[in-house]
A and B are shown apart, each in its own frame.
Chain A
Amino acid sequence: MNPQQTIPASFRASIRRRRARDRVIETLLLAAGLAAVFATAAIVWILVSEALPFFEHVPVRDFLTDTLWTPLFAEPRYGIMPLVAGTLVTTFVALLVAMPAGTVIAIYLSEFASHRLREVVKPALEMLGAVPTVVYGYFALAMVTPFLQKLIPGLPGFNMLSAGLVIGIMIVPYVASVSEDAMRAVPNDMREGSYAMGATRFQTATRVVVPGALSGIAAAYILGISRAVGETMVVAVAAGLQPNLTWNPTEPAATITSFIVQVSLGDLPHDSIGYQSIFAAGLVLLVITLAFNIAGFVLTRRFRETY
């Protein structure tokens, strides 16, 4: 006898119906999954298509080599260098804070702190990372800059130093958490081997754990750089908005991101060159952050695979 015939027809119909519904739902879920792919594609497409008219006006060569960025002036010049310089200086200052502080906190949490302390401190650090960036901007302008002005007489009210320091504080939790993950991925056998040879905790941390987690720590720095490069509100509030080709952090300057904010605050017609210029600037920003993100991604993958 055919086993199909032992199943009542009504039940078979129900199974068919439920399977059909499953296929429909699977398609819908797949569509949601594709939203991420769509978003990435849309970012690239929009930035490129809106920046193309800009590059019809401005030769790429001038864009990359001219040392003046004055797109809204009567005699506009379109050299991206001043904005890139501002971005690099603030990022560099931020790293001077975030790299040592983030690494020390990560080593302390991973190798020294008790389980209990870790349980309390990690959520607190998470909160430090959740503070809205515009609030950090206020912090830089209203608290850090006046303090720095006491240390450095003649420091202008807007400067890259203060903005960079605050961005550094902002990315400390991020650098610490990624580095700590990498350090905890180092197998305990290696630590025990080190202790068995008579090493202290500090020696184990610096000579066994940190070298073992090096690619992960490097990834933390690189992802931190990418955050600092893309940070917008702190620089828009505290670093001043004048494009200024300088490597001196005590001067005010605009960054790629703060330029985009400055232009967006005004009311620009859709087809003006000012409107197109923020997409060109955005494209440069995307390329820089993408390069760092890919490097960070490759490095984190490597430390996860080693052990």
Chain B
Amino acid sequence: MRRYTLPIVLAVALVATSIWGYYQYNEKNDYHTYLDIQFQRQFYDLIGHVENAQVELAKAMVSGSTKDLSKHLNDVVFQSYMAQEKLTQLPLYHGAIRSTERFLNQLGDYSTAMVNKSLEGILLDEDEMTTLSELHTYANMLSQQLIELQQDIVKGGINFGDLRREANRDLSRVSDQMEDLGLINIEERMVDYPELIYDGPFSEHLQDIKPRLEGENITEEEAVTIARETFQEENIGNIQVVGDIENTPIPSYYLSGVRDGRLNGQNVSMAISKTGGKVVWYLNPRETGESTLGADEAIDRAEEFLNNIGYENMTSTYTSAYEGQIVINFAYEEDDVIVYTDLIKVKVALDNGEIIGLETEGFLINHHARDIEEPEITEEEARERLSSGVEVESTRLAIIPTAGKKEILCYEFKVKFGEDHYLIYIDAKDGIQREILLLVDQEDGTLVI
């Protein structure tokens, strides 16, 4: 009897393992199938949205009135963003779908820009209509290729679940699979599509923005000196240039240092522009103790700091405090006009009033001597454009940026509607409402107006 014990135990174990294994296998298959059908669905949706975008675009082009045009373009906006959304949820390697993603995004952005134009009563010009028809050609091409791809997938039994597994193992093998899938072909053809120049959001050509910052080029030694002088009160020792920041709008030296004195050993870092030697950003990540300063004292402290390093006429516009720190936004002010584009942020520690962060990129890129035009409509006229349901609390003139990188002079109205505060911007030239911002008051954030 005894000599059978071991074999029996082993047999039982084997059976148990088999059952467990079988169960695991089934479960794995279930997950795999589930995932695969989800991806298949996304893929079908993707095709559907691209097709719809293309059809709506075609309808928009033959629409006679600006009303019909905007109606159909609105659908293009929705369909193209949905298509982009589905595409980015598929387990596809980024390099293979990048231009397709961009195409779908730009199709949506461009259509949005055209809808806005139509709504303002501006007729689309010939170039814009040509761009629309070019976009239509590409949308057409894309949906055809996607349909072919879909058929291949159904026929050839490539499933997205497998693709996903491969992706986990090796991204480069995924890219081979992509080629099999034919996505690379689409991608190559998408690359040729023309660059769009338009006044819409996220316009590609905006990336080549030239900063307004001017000045002499500085050496590494000078950068170290500037760092030391700027943060004199912070006692930073051992400042070194540890790297370069290149291929960005403001090429800079990347420096790091160590705090001396009481908070010995705390690392700080910053970037100083190679042109003009300005601090682009500064970060001191120290933990803060119990708060002893109020917001007003912190704002005074930050203003004093900005004055010391040569920024004048800066007005605080917004503060937000958390965990013993406060971030204060400063905008440049000229002739009682707030210039929101020229933005500097200062972070102050609320335990001892020390400056623990600085961010000046908005200011360095945008600030220049401006000829601020006189508003063409009066404050009264602008106020008439507001809804009768709101209660105006304050008004001032402000320059705000548009999505297309232009600056417009607006009347800024802080209004109360129901329980919420809003900022409404009315163009000082033509009275068009340019922007509405809803202020969400949180216990730690307040707008300073």
Asked whether A and B interact, the reply is no
Please give the residue numbers on chain A whose beta carbons come within 8 Å of chain B beta carbons, in ascending order. Answer: none
